[in-house]
Amino acid sequence: MNASVLIVGAGPSGLSLAIALRQNGVSVRIIDKASTYQVGQRGAGIQSRTLELFKILGVLPDILKKGGFCSPMIHYLPGGETKTTEVIAYMENTPDRPYINPIMVGQDLQEDILRKHLAKYGITVELGTELVSFEQLPDGVVSRVVRTRDGQRFEESIQSQWIIGAEGSHSVVRKTLGLTFLGETRKGDNMIVGDIYIKERLLDKDLWHLWGEAATKSVTVVHFGTRDEDKYTLFFMGCDLDAAKATSSREEFIKAFYGISGRTDIEFGDLIWASTFQPNVRMVNSFGSGRAFVAGDSAHVHSPTGGQGLNSGIQDAINLAWKLALVQKNLAPQSLLDSYSQERIPIIAAMLDKTSELHMKTFTPGGTQAGWARGYELRQFGINYRGSPIIVDETPVHGEEIFDPYRSGNDGTVRGGDRAPDAPGLTFVKDPTRKTSLFDIFGSSYHTVLFFSDDNIAVVEALKSYPTGAVKSVVILSQNPTGVISADYVLADGDGYAYKHYNMAEKVTKVVIVRPDGMVGGLVRGMDGLKKYFRRIFV
């Protein structure tokens, strides 16, 4: 069976991409060389911005059911003293940021949820299927894969229009494209992560427990199971850590814990899994070429400090999905895909700087506490594409603007390229008893155009000239309309949040174009600006 897009790798990035493409009506196949689904927590932190993207994909309720807020950390110091650190400061949700707090969900649970949602579209992960090579042709891609079934290996040729590598740092797609993967390996900064059962409930499940210092040897114990489950994840770090020995057997794994913590009173059960690694800090010079692209760890690897990598990979996927879908359906020029690299490279470069800074703090003598503290910008609300060539922003500015790709979106304004804020309390003009929010309207398969005036009727009508289903119109009024408006949604800003969050009292622009990835693609005054934006998107 052939498909429009072949996705290589079934981690969170590949699965999110597959869901978004299917929501756009694009056929996919997703393969993974592993013979079984992944076990283990690994990337467990889901940042606030990713929660918003999961809302767009429709998977958020299931994610929230499995997740919980990050617990404080207690550091056991020499001499019996302790120090408690708030790893992530708890904050109250706000109307524009209804998912302001990151949550913890084990990566194996994340992937299980994403697979179940993908199955709703008739797609399952093809396990035991490894990409060996591929060739790009003018009108498609031919991939050679090897399937392993009951110990037997079979070759297969898969034809697709596109191929996306989301298969990790040893990506065949990246290597075949010849993309550079420059950076460094943090040799000596040894790390181990593993899941194990603890029989005796001697550790408070509502705390992270830390012994030692990462500059030499440390171990962190985190409860990741359900309340009635005694499953914990152990993170070992340290230049003096014999990682190979500690992962050679269950006994050595436990012995490493006893040696660092001194807590020999804790009795362990089965070791579920364990792995050792040294952090790499690397990224590509381009996110793709021709009909082949990379996302997630295939495009960038980093220190796990800060919990940014998995989230960045999911954001890669959602950025690429809507653009690829429009091109595949001949609604957009192939040049639109150039913006994938143009938008993501500055973000990933900034992300690597931030995670490396936290890593250095963690591995500096006496720096363990500073290395575990997570600042507000790591929630990723400030990530923006303000410098993107496909963004149109007609907001008046004075002087030269300098954009920080990770923080400018937190400057108190809403500009072209920023995340689109939520606005609850919107009521339907035709039925004021019904309420909705912008986050309930945004979707992964269409642009949402917000009109903050009822004098833009001609502009609303102009949207009908664009491809059916590719654009939704939303008129948001501060008072009852003066005439008949033919839009997908005609809403009253009952609680005033839409006008407030989009700064409409101060803006000359009255039309906001929200992309399928929940980013503001355009802030325009009217018809000319609207056409200017969509000329960069549609053929």
- In 112-147, which positions are buried (b, 16+ CB within 10 angstroms) versus exposed (e)? ebbbebbeeeebebbbbbbbeebebeeebbebebeb
Q: Which of 253, 277, 301 is the last residue of a domain?
A: 277
Q: Are residues 271 and 287 in the same domain?
A: no
Q: How far is CA 17 from CA 12, 178, 306, 513, 532, in A?
A: 8, 23, 23, 22, 28
The CA distance from 234 to 406, in Å, is: 30
Collapse the DSSP code of 170 into the 3-class scheme (helix H, G, I; strand E, B; otherwise coil) and give the result.
coil
In this prediction, residue 201 carries a pLDDT of: 74
Q: Are residues 260 and 372 in the same domain?
A: no
* Token code pair at residue 373: 């503290």
Domain total of the chain: 3
Collapse the DSSP code of 137 into the 3-class scheme (helix H, G, I; strand E, B; otherwise coil) and give the result.
strand
Q: Which of 246, 277, 308 is the last residue of a domain?
A: 277
Number of other CB atoms surrounding residue 77 within 10 Å: 13
Please check whether residue 128 lies inside any domain of the structure: yes
Please check whether residue 441 lies inside any domain of the structure: yes
Range of the domain at 236: 190-277
Give the phi and the psi of residue 195 in degrees, each rounded to 5.
Answer: -110, 140
Q: Are residues 375 and 423 in the same domain?
A: no
Cα–Cα nearest to 185, from 327, 119, 280: 280
Please check whether residue 53 lies inside any domain of the structure: yes
In this prediction, residue 96 carries a pLDDT of: 97
Q: What is the 3-state secondary structure (H, E, C) of 201-216?
A: CCCCCCCEEEEEECCC
Please check whether residue 516 lies inside any domain of the structure: yes
Cα–Cα nearest to 68, from 118, 102, 17: 102
Collapse the DSSP code of 228 into the 3-class scheme (helix H, G, I; strand E, B; otherwise coil) and give the result.
coil
In this prediction, residue 360 carries a pLDDT of: 60
* Angle at the Cα of 253 from the Cα atoms of 45 and 248, rounded to 5 degrees: 110
Q: Are residues 270 and 402 in the same domain?
A: no
Q: Are residues 273 and 300 in the same domain?
A: no
* Angle at the Cα of 362 from the Cα atoms of 360 and 363, rounded to 5 degrees: 65
Q: Are residues 16 and 154 in the same domain?
A: yes
Q: Are residues 360 and 448 in the same domain?
A: no
- Residue linked to tokens 């996306």: 164
CATH of the domain at 255: 3.30.70.2450
Q: Which of 355, 379, 403 is the last residue of a domain?
A: 379
Q: Are residues 241 and 300 in the same domain?
A: no
The CA distance from 367 to 349, in Å, is: 24
In this prediction, residue 438 carries a pLDDT of: 98
Q: Are residues 322 and 356 in the same domain?
A: yes
In this prediction, residue 454 carries a pLDDT of: 73
Please check whether residue 450 lies inside any domain of the structure: yes
In this prediction, residue 156 carries a pLDDT of: 95
Please check whether residue 385 lies inside any domain of the structure: no
Please check whether residue 83 lies inside any domain of the structure: no
Q: What is the pTM of this model?
A: 0.93
Cα–Cα nearest to 424, from 62, 98, 57, 63: 98
Give one DSSP letter per residue of 83-107, joined into a string.
Answer: EEE-SS-----BTTBTT-S-EE--H
Q: Are residues 367 and 403 in the same domain?
A: no
Please check whether residue 78 lies inside any domain of the structure: no
Give the phi and the psi of residue 77 in degrees, each rounded to 5.
Answer: -95, 160
Q: Are residues 271 and 307 in the same domain?
A: no
- Residue linked to tokens 């660092």: 260
In this prediction, residue 85 carries a pLDDT of: 87
Residue 225: what residue type?
G
Q: Are residues 32 and 144 in the same domain?
A: yes
pLDDT by 10s per residue, the chain, length 539: 789 999 999 999 999 999 999 999 999 999 999 999 988 877 788 999 999 999 999 999 999 999 888 889 999 998 889 999 888 889 999 999 999 999 999 899 999 999 999 999 999 999 999 999 999 999 999 999 999 988 899 999 999 999 999 999 899 999 999 999 887 776 767 889 999 999 877 889 889 999 998 888 999 999 876 666 788 999 998 889 999 999 999 999 999 999 999 999 999 999 999 998 877 788 999 999 999 999 999 999 887 766 788 999 999 999 999 999 999 999 999 999 999 999 999 999 888 776 666 656 555 666 555 555 667 888 999 999 999 999 999 998 876 778 899 889 999 899 999 999 999 999 999 899 999 999 999 999 999 999 998 777 888 889 999 999 999 999 999 876 666 778 999 999 999 999 999 988 767 778 999 999 999 999 999 999 999 999 999 99
Q: Which residues pair with 144 in a beta bridge?
A: 133, 157
CATH of the domain at 25: 3.50.50.60
Is residue 134 within 8 Å of residue 292, measured between CB atoms? yes
CATH of the domain at 437: 3.40.30.10
Task: Find the helix or strand (DSSP H, E) in which 286 lies.
Answer: none
In this prediction, residue 39 carries a pLDDT of: 87
Q: How do strand 447-451 and strand 471-477 relate by DSSP bridges? A: parallel
